[in-house]
Amino acid sequence: MTEPHDDRGIELPSPTASPLYFALGLSLLLAGLVTHELVSMVGAAFFVLGAVGWWRQVLPQESEQWVPLQSEAERARPVSPRRAAVDHLTAGEDRHRMRLPVEVRPISAGLPGAAAGAVAMAVVACTYGLVVEGSLWLPINLLAGIVLPSVDQASPEQLRSFHGLAFGLACGAHVLLSVSVGLVYATTLPMLPSRPLLWGGIAAPLLWTGVAWSVMGLVNPALEQYVSWPWFVASQIAFGLAAGWAILRVAPVATSQSLSLAERAGIEAGR
Amino acid sequence: MASIPLADTEPRRRFRSDVLHDWVTTVDHKKLGILYIASGIVFFVIGGLEATAMRIQLAVPENDFVSPEVFNRLFTMHGTTMVFLVGMPIITGFGNYLIPLMIGARDMAFPRLNAWGFWMFLFGGLLLYFSYLGSTGLYGAGSAPDVGWFAYTPLAGKAFSRGNATDYWILGIVVSGFGSLSGAVNMIATALTMRCEGMSLGRMPLFVWMMVIVSFMILVALPPLTAAQVMLLFDRFLGAHFFDTQAGGDAVLWQHFFWFFGHPEVYILMIPGFAYASEIIPVFSRKVIFGYSVMVGATVAIGFVSLSVWAHHMFAVGMGRGLNIWFATATMIVGIPTGMKLFNWLATMYGGRIRFRVPMLFCTAFLAQFLVAGLTGIMLAAVPFDWQVTDSYFVVAHFHFVLIGGLVCTIFGAIYYWFPKMSGRMLDERLGRWHFWLFVIGFNVTFLTMHGQGLLGMPRRIYTYPADRGWEIWNLVTSLGVVLQIAGVLFFVYAVIKALRSGEPAGDDPWDAWTLEWSTSSPPPDYNFDEAPVVRSRRPLWDLKHPDDPDWKYE
């Protein structure tokens, strides 16, 4: 607060009723549409009165009033230093259950994780098709049902035969879902408690299976009709374990979490 | 420079007419801000009474407390009032009052335009309510608009809305809309050009940032509504056919125009609520806001994304799969920056020495209630779910959780927080706590149960219902909640009157806060600051109070 001030007072824009007249005039002008022409005429008069008054307020010079400064007794008290000490939060102190990963796998580690998981899941699913259903194409056609509504109407024979479109769509969906899950896996890995393979490889697939079980009828009715839940769970776990294994093989990188709060605040402020 | 002498050296008695003249001719941003807020509160009471009448009507089946025609007018005027005459003026009022104080300026950039904006809003509201006396409805008697607050065509066209009640609706909103536009221009100009020395954009209080973003949104979203309303006037007065489907017009076009305004409007109303919370929560948590930059970025993101979600109000219209997917996706995406904000407020509270004074209580309730609103919003963004509950009480519950659970609660928090600055008097803490608990409990009793009615299939805007639908107990409980809310608001009104008459003096800085408005007296003088402030961080008062550990060391 350094700017010197004039002890006598400060100039401010002077009060005026012109904006009120101008607004009243405009409102009455429009109100005449739903009332009477006379209302619009009165509105036009106020409109002109307000406009002229407003112009005269600002042209040729802005009209201002001289406002005297408040007395010393009325003025704000100067802001004074506080005696109370300032606490600084530090990582891991009492009441702060912080788990700060000093190093994490880069999010891009999700890509090799996705590739490994996708292969592992496909192997389990195709094994199910060959061994249980007698067709490699059945699980692939069922997966295509996510985006191909006609799969819902297909006969068992059709589901057990090769279809180019279904194959392409199933591959696309498999890659897309695998990459998405792989990236999420790599991102959340540092937040998981100890034994990430246990959480990411087994617990998460079981939870995901529960979600899939509840929404399968909406998302993919055909798959719900043919799904074998033990094999489904096995394919999910295969994905989780393979993806986790691949992600953990990627070299970790340092994070800014290990820096001090001040340094981090500086970084966040763009220094 | 022309000067008008104002103050006589000899004291003179100020008559009521002098006081009235002062307020009517004022161009001072603080008085205009108070006028906006006070007018908004008056309209809030009116809109609340309309809602109460509706809830009495719906409390029991086959009730005839009001007639069907009156019921239609009630829900139309209630919605229009709450959005255009309560939400908009109150957020503009706080912006008006606080932006110059927070950036160390003496007034808004365009003080006279500021006054004009307020009077346009007020006359727009009065014109709308004059319809009760002046308009001619189907039966030749005075009647208010009855086409719903979004006035869908062709219902709002001349063929189905005879008389001129709908014209009053159009003109009232057009007039008050001009006021909102002028306010938006003024806030942007003020914040961008009148900041005090040292206040870079990166040091601007989050409140100011958010009001600037809201102002840009108003400039983008409001003109299309005004344009559509002028087109509707052409249809009704001049025989044009913009929305006349039998003559080549398009009724759905109105829906697009309206919701292109209507959905950003939800965020135009809600982001100021975020702004109040972003100032109150850090002060009462005794911590700096968590993730300042992210909060600004998230608000900008909300501003952009919210301009591309409007047609989620129209999933049931039959727009086609492509558009449905686009608008569903955009709607879900807007949840990301909004969620970031919620996490940042929680992170600000986390580990803080929280003081649960009344402003903080309201902000804490806001966090929980707005989360519920956000979750039901995501549910409604899913097209199949929306098809099942569209135009049901589930939707009514959702947007009341946004606008009451979110906005109104933060407004109450803001009033308790800044009332001492505006009046120089503290609001009574005990009365405030009664207000808080009665209002929040009443709100949840009313609107949590409303989700149930919606899921059971009760359509919105129905006048009454038979006793065999299983809705009776839900409606009764919903209506009983209103009683608690009214009791809470009565405590609030009493607290305000008591504070103005005999409230405890507030002092300059009753909350030990950190932004510039608390460095001047309460209430501030006409010129705001004796000397133009100079700031070095986002919390200039913190720097002065803690010279050994100022914020500018870390920013």
Note which residues in 78-117 of chain A have CB less than 8 A from chain B: 79-82, 86, 89, 95-96
- Alpha helices by DSSP H, listed for B306-352, are 321-333, 335-349
What's residue A269's pLDDT? 46
pLDDT at A94: 58
Residues present in chain A in total? 271
Cis peptide before B154 (omega within 30 of 0): yes
Q: What is the pLDDT of residue A97?
A: 53
Q: B71-74 contacts: CB < 8 A, separation 24 or more?
A: B71/B463, B72/B146, B72/B147, B72/B461, B72/B463, B73/B143, B73/B144, B73/B145, B73/B146, B74/B50
What is the distance between the alpha carbons of residues B255 and B356, in angstroms, rounded to a whole number?
43
Residue B507's domain spans which residues? Answer: 35-547
Give residues 202 to 231 of A whose Cβ lies within 8 Å of B.
218
**Domain for residue B29, yes or no?**
no
Residues 6 or more apart from B93 whose CB is under 8 A from it? B32, B33, B34, B35, B36, B37, B40
Asked if A20 and B119 come within 8 Å (Cβ–Cβ), the reply is: yes
Q: What's the pLDDT score for residue B278? A: 97
Residue B19, in any domain of the structure:
no
Given the structure tokens 């489904």, which residue do they identify?
A232
Q: What is residue B51's three-state secondary structure?
A: helix
Comparing A61 with B431, the larger pLDDT belongs to B431
B224 contacts: CB under 8 Å, gap ≥ 6: B257, B260, B261
For residue B240, is it within any domain?
Answer: yes
**DSSP one-letter code for B4:** E
Task: Calculate mean pLDDT across residues A51-55.
Answer: 96
Residues of chain B contacting residue A57, judged by C-beta atoms under 8 Å apart: 112
- The confidence band for A145, taking pLDDT boundaries of 50, 70 and 90, is confident
Which SS3 state, helix, strand or coil, does residue B426 take? coil
Q: Do A27 and B124 touch (CB under 8 A)?
A: yes
* B7 in a structural domain: no
Residue B148 sits at φ, ψ, to 5 deg, of 85, 160
Residue B15 lies in a domain: no
In a domain, B4, yes or no: no
Q: Please give the torsion angle defined by the CA atoms of residues A156, A159, A162 and A168, in that order, rounded to the nearest 10 degrees.
A: 170
**Total length of chain B:** 555
Residue B356 and residue B413: Cα distance in Å, rounded?
A: 11
The pLDDT tens digits along chain B (555 residues) read 444 444 454 455 567 778 899 999 999 999 999 999 999 999 999 999 999 999 999 999 999 999 999 999 999 999 999 999 999 999 999 999 999 999 999 999 999 999 999 999 999 999 999 999 887 755 556 689 999 999 999 999 988 888 889 999 999 999 999 999 999 999 999 999 999 999 999 999 999 999 999 999 999 999 999 999 999 999 999 999 999 988 999 999 999 999 999 999 999 999 999 999 999 999 999 999 999 999 999 999 999 999 999 999 999 999 988 899 899 999 999 999 999 999 999 999 988 889 999 999 999 999 999 999 999 999 999 999 999 999 999 999 999 999 999 999 999 999 999 999 999 999 999 999 999 999 999 999 999 999 999 999 999 999 999 998 999 999 999 999 999 999 999 999 999 999 999 999 999 999 999 999 999 999 999 999 988 999 999 999 999 999 988 888 887
Question: Residue B385 belongs to a domain with what CATH number?
Answer: 1.20.210.10
Rounded mean pLDDT of chain A?
A: 84
In B350-470, alpha helices (H) = 358-381, 383-389, 393-400, 409-423, 429-455
pLDDT at A226: 80
The pLDDT > 70 percentage for chain A reads: 86
Inside any domain, residue B26:
no
Number of structural domains (chain B) is 1
CB-based contact A30 B554, cutoff 8 Å: no
Nearest-10 crossing angle of helices B393-400, B358-381: 140
CB of B162 within 8 Å of a chain A CB? The answer is: no
Largest CA distance in chain A: 98
State the pLDDT at residue B2.
Answer: 45
> What pLDDT, on a 0 to 100 scale, did the predictor assign at position B9?
46
Bridging pattern class, strands B3-5 and A64-68: parallel
CB contact under 8 A, A26 and B3: no
Maximal CA-CA distance, chain B: 76
pLDDT average, residue stretch A230-257: 89
Phi and psi (nearest 5°) for A147? -115, -5
Contacting B residues, span 184-223, partner chain A, CB-CB under 8 Å? 197, 202
Which of B337, B311, B332 minimizes the C-alpha distance to B323?
B311
Q: What are phi and psi of A11, to 5 degrees?
A: -85, 130
Cβ–Cβ < 8 Å for B230, B173: no
Mean pLDDT over residues A157-182, rounded? 91
Which pLDDT score, from 0 to 100, does residue B111 have?
Answer: 96
- CB of B120 closer than 8 Å to CB of A25: no
> Going edge to edge, which strands form the sheet with A64-68?
A9-13, A64-68, B3-5
Instruction: Confirm whether B552 is domain-assigned.
Output: no
Task: Give A67's strand partners.
Answer: A10
What is the CA angle B480-B485-B487, rounded to 5?
100
Partner residue facing B554 (CB), from A26, A63, A265 = A265
pLDDT bin (cut points 50, 70, 90) of residue A98 is low
